[in-house]
Amino acid sequence: MKAKLYFGSTCKDKKECKEVCSPYDGRVVSSFCLCDATDAKEVLEIARTAALHVKQIPLHQRTNWLLDVAQKLEIERERIALCITDEVGKPIAFSRVEVDRCIETIKLSANAMLHVNGETFDTTAMPSGKKSLSFYKREPVGVVLAITPFNFPLNLVAHKIAPALVAGNAVILKPTSQAPRTAYELVKLFIESPYAPKDALSLLYSGEGVNETLITSEIPRVISFTGSVSVGREITQKAGIKKVALELGGNAATYIDASADLVLAAKRCAVGAFINSGQVCISLQRIYVHESIYESFAQALVNESKSLHVGSPYDEKTFIGPMVNEVAVLKAKRWIQSAIDEGAKPLCGFTYKALLFEPTIMADVSEAMAIVCEEVFAPIVSLIKVKDYEEAKTKMNASDYGLQYSIFCNDLSIVQRAIDELEAGGIVINDIPTLRFDLQPYGGIKQSGVGKEGPYFALLDDYTQIKSVVIC
């Protein structure tokens, strides 16, 4: 099926298109219209005009709009889940979970806007003040540019467009070229809703000059981007004076303390390291294990990892499907081989067939190896023996990234220290750093980005702005 364009509420087609092939079997599963700078300029002007009237739409209509889309998405659950699996190779069971999360994200966004309020303040609180009616209110920023990745091609779109739209903004979405149809199906539901404001949402795909035109334009007042550090840095350099929200890479780590439940820790760490073939920004990549339990934990993790089914993403029992493309597989292979050449040892895995990559556990690694210090984005995890929490903390915090960390520990004094001392945007206790609830504030520090996702927090940080009012 061809993913068409939306220039505001108007669906458009183009002859020039690009095919998308299944990562699993190579068959053509979708295609999308190639865009150019002229398309981008037209959409920018449509969004600029739309922003003036979208903000006037009553809040009850905007919230009903989102709830209507969520309801229709529930009906289309299986079809859209299959679309995700077709385009990015995500196992069908997890594609269904992503649709469910997307529905939740949209509903959360509708509800969150009901709690975005202003506040009055007393100007006589300072000697130079005088009595007045003074308050601030929140209003939409205008036009939002949303750029989304392949690994969660539905829910990450919802995390950007749902709060932005319910806040009263006009939105231009540019999704990944690896899952254009998934994004198209969601946008279509938004635009065809009877509650949809005219031209509030536009959809463009890749093409010559598109990124440059959208990013450098003064029309978008906010750019919300999820993707690599290198692209995030480039956007920041080119964007000019506008807000740029960045959810970038990660190098998630956990510490397994001697007091931890080893059975629970091994089971959850296998999930955290290998779900979605490790193609998650908060995929567990480094496991620091107390030396007294290292051997026991390593064996338990190997056993858990070997029990995970690798295979067809259309098989209900599959846990690990294909990686997204050959480039990703070759990079993972190259990094593992480099680590082995430097003395590391695979405890399991490091075998692959086509784009199916077996879960791989690496031991005897050093902190300088790419599989340890860089974002791997593959089903690879490294085990590192440490003397205690203090050593684990030092090594975890040495990373250039800081998205989410966790510890498995039943010693309250260590837990309290970890909450205060680990340098990351989120800390999880007694579970994996890969754990994310869609209502929570989510976003990193250091090279992991700027700003927070989560509907309520995105509404405050990115999609609304404060206007101060004084009535004398």
Tell me the domains of the chain and their CATH numbers: 2-248+448-471 (3.40.605.10), 252-438 (3.40.309.10)
Per-residue CA distances from 228 to 174, 233, 318, 470 (Å): 15, 9, 27, 43
Over range 77-102, report the average pLDDT: 99
CB 402 within 8 A of CB 376: no
| Cβ 359 vs Cβ 321: under 8 Å | no
Of 98, 185, 247, 304, the active-site residue reads 247
| Token duo for residue 243 | 């807000």
Residues 6+ apart with CB under 8 A from 57: 168, 197
**Interval 5-24 mean pLDDT:** 97
CA 161 – CA 351 distance, rounded (Å): 39
Residue type, 322: P
CA neighbor of 360 nearest in space, from 342, 343, 341, 344: 344
d(CA 406, CA 422): 9
Q: What is the pLDDT of residues 173-196, one digit of tens each?
A: 999 999 999 999 999 999 999 999
Active site residue 17: no
Residue 352 above 90 pLDDT?
A: no
Q: Which helix (H) or strand (E) holds 468?
A: strand 464-471
**Rounded Cα gap, residues 320 and 8, in angstroms:** 38
Using a 10 angstrom Cβ sphere, with 0-12 exposed, 13-18 middle and 19 or more buried, the burial of residue 89 is buried
What are the residues facing 428 on neighbouring strands? 406
* Average confidence (pLDDT) over 27-36: 97
For position 350, what pLDDT does the model report?
Answer: 86
Mean pLDDT in residue range 435-460 = 97
Residue 206 is predicted with a pLDDT of 94
pLDDT in tens, 355-377: 999 999 999 999 999 999 999 99
- Choosing from 35, 83, 102, 281, the catalytic residue is 281
* 373 three-state secondary structure: helix
- Residues, the chain: 472
The pLDDT, as a whole number, for residue 344 is: 98
Sign of CA dihedral 425, 430, 434, 435: negative
Residue type, 133: L
- In this prediction, residues 395-415 reach a mean pLDDT of 98
281 is catalytic: yes
What does the pLDDT look like over 124-173, one tens digit per residue?
998 888 888 999 999 999 999 999 999 999 999 999 999 999 999 999 99
pTM: 0.97
The average confidence (pLDDT) of the chain is 97
Average pLDDT over residues 204-219: 97
For 372-387, what is each residue's pLDDT tens digit?
Answer: 999 999 999 999 999 9
Checking if the pLDDT of 351 tops 90, the result is: no
Mean pLDDT of all residues in 341-353 = 93
Between CA 268 and CA 434 the distance in angstroms is: 10
